[in-house]
Amino acid sequence: MSSPSIDRRQMLAACLAAAAASSTRPAASLAGHKPPARQPLGVVIHSFGVRQSAEKNQEFSAPLPFAQAASQLGAAGIQVAIGVRSPDYLAKLRDLLAAAGMYIEGIVRLPRDEPDLPRFEAELTSAKSAGATVLRTVMLDGRRYEAFDSAAAFARHAAESWRSLQWARPVAERLGVRLAIENHKDWRVADLLGIVRRCNSPQIGICVDTGNSIALLEDPLAVVAEYAPYAFTTHFKDMAVAEYADGFLLAETPLGTGYLDLKKMVSTLRDKQPAIRLNLEMITRDPLKIPCLSSKYWATFPDLPAKDLAATLHAVRTHAAKDALPHPGNAPLSDRLRIEQQNVERSFTWATQHLTA
């Protein structure tokens, strides 16, 4: 049972977790019973996007309630935006994580300019105090082929991103935390590796997303192999694909139900980074459209080889999902919450059965 002294945020997290799971198992299994044994996966806050959007005050997204809910699911750790927190809040968070035997990784936005540096440093300082040594970041919030209409526009973004990273690097080095840049449907392998090598800093590496680079016509297993020597952490996911008129559809799917060779990816990562953490990012949403047969898609890829397009479309046809990809976006909220919870739990079950911690 919950202790009378449990704070309001922890109680809310337990109630949210119970409500989302109510159609698949008794609410008490999340709300009051002993947490399950830790399993090989941590979990990224983005795995609960439906629940986040359902909470208008974004209470669930805060580190304490999210850590509480993830603990009750048996997650090995969490990756979440920590923000700037009071010493008392951070002490409670550390105590919760220590009692549960969990790790924490942060999520942080790079400084946009020099005046933004104090915000950035304050967030890194809070993250370090919470126990995070790695923070995931991105250089583009959106998708390259949607955000830019020309190679020149993308080049300007690349220059701005490099400046942001140069403002961020000395702060990370001074505080002794590591920034992990995600391959976020923006950089192809050669580009992102070039950025990390050019930085030449032990505090700058990569958050390897096992599925994102498919959208940029790259082979997912080859991407993992290239990034592994520089990997600080992961967004671990499986993917399903299907053709559509302008290219192909790309959808996150519970681990073990897509076409990625997940076991090979894990062994490849651990060969270079034995202590790498696997953070589940199972986003429950409609499939993304990758319009690789449209002219706009190619606007920022003047030198992309046609063989990469051919190889990707061949892989899509070879591994196309036998059933229609799920489209939960129009379902009632209660159904989307249930599906989201099931997707996470199915992924955890697969990891427990097929991966070692």
Residue that is written with structure tokens 């951070």 in the block: 90
Each domain of the chain, given as residue ranges in start order, spans: 8-20+37-240+251-286+332-354
- Nearest Cα neighbor of 103 from 139, 57, 65, 134 is 134
How far are the Cα atoms of 26, 137, 311 from residue 298, in angstroms, in the given order?
49, 25, 16
Residue 83 to residue 80: CA distance in whole angstroms: 9
pLDDT digits (tens, 9 = 90+) for 61-91: 999 999 999 999 999 999 999 999 999 999 9
303 Cβ neighbours under 8 A, 6+ residues apart: none
pLDDT at 36: 57
CB 51 within 8 A of CB 60: yes
Is the whole-model pTM more than 0.75?
Answer: yes
- CA 346, distance to chain mean position in Å, is 17
Which CATH architecture best describes the domain 8-20+37-240+251-286+332-354? Alpha-Beta Barrel (3.20)
Which region among 36-40, 137-141, 143-147, 178-182 has the lowest average model confidence (pLDDT)?
36-40
- Nearest Cα neighbor of 211 from 274, 123, 280, 149 is 280
What b-and-e string marks burial along 198-219, b requiring 16 or more CB atoms within 10 Å of the CB? Answer: ebeeebbbbbbbbbbbbbbbbb
pLDDT digits (tens, 9 = 90+) for 119-135: 999 999 999 999 999 99
